[in-house]
A and B are shown apart, each in its own frame.
Chain A
Amino acid sequence: SYVLTQPPSVSVAPGQTARITCGGNNIGSKSVHWYQQKPGQAPVLVVYDDSDRPSGIPERFSGSNSGNTATLTISRVEAGDEADYYCQVWDSSSDPIFGGGTKLTVL
């Protein structure tokens, strides 16, 4: 079955850029979606279809996807961005799959 691999943790200083990766075999041929989950809260969709943002999500959140890696980029990181981030794929040929999640720490 298809596997999505995320680093367990990423650390970044405030104001810097955080990049969270999601690896999968030829993931560039799939649409990747990203969720943010703060402690004790439900997940929130922050990027869909590789690089689109739902309304209300700051432009600081962006995504890309090519080859075997999709990336969620958070520019000008703020303390409030500290959270777990999950990638996800789901197409008509398979069940939904989530990556294992990445804990973003703002130093």
Chain B
Amino acid sequence: EVQLVESGGGLVKPGGSLRLSCAASGFTFSNAWMSWVRQAPGKGLEWVGRIKSKTDGGTTDYAAPVKGRFTISRDDSKNTLYLQMNSLKTEDTAVYYCTTVQEYSSSYYFDYWGQGTLVTVSS
């Protein structure tokens, strides 16, 4: 059974930093593309970024609102995905979900999701 368990959320002041973790199990993590998706309170889903498997280059890509401030990384030896968030803004307040990424006919989707961790940016 695929399990994704996020941790590291909490309250942080504007301009501060936070690192989220996502512990993965039930699949071969090193082969998986992974992503972070967030949801502001009462709002819809917003993609944050993606990291490919090392086999596929291990490269990252980010949504415009977080580019230059957020960094996604992975430790395949620990089956763990990370999201380093710097220069946080109040508009970054959201539940952050860790997801697996699946490819089908050159289209991609999020097939498994963690339960999410809440990040609140407030003074």
Contacts and interface: CB of A to CB of B under 8 A. Distances in A.
A and B form one complex: yes
Nearest to A50: B107
B113 A42 contact: yes
B97 A48 contact: no
Interface residues of A, number: 27
Interface stretch (A14-22, A66-74, A75-83, A87-95): A87-95
Chief secondary structure at chain B's binding surface: strand
B14 interface: no
B107 A45 contact: no
A45 B35 CA distance: 15
A19 B83 CA distance: 36
A63 to B, nearest CB: 12
A44 B108 contact: no
Interface of B: 35, 37, 44-47, 50, 61, 63, 97, 102, 104-116
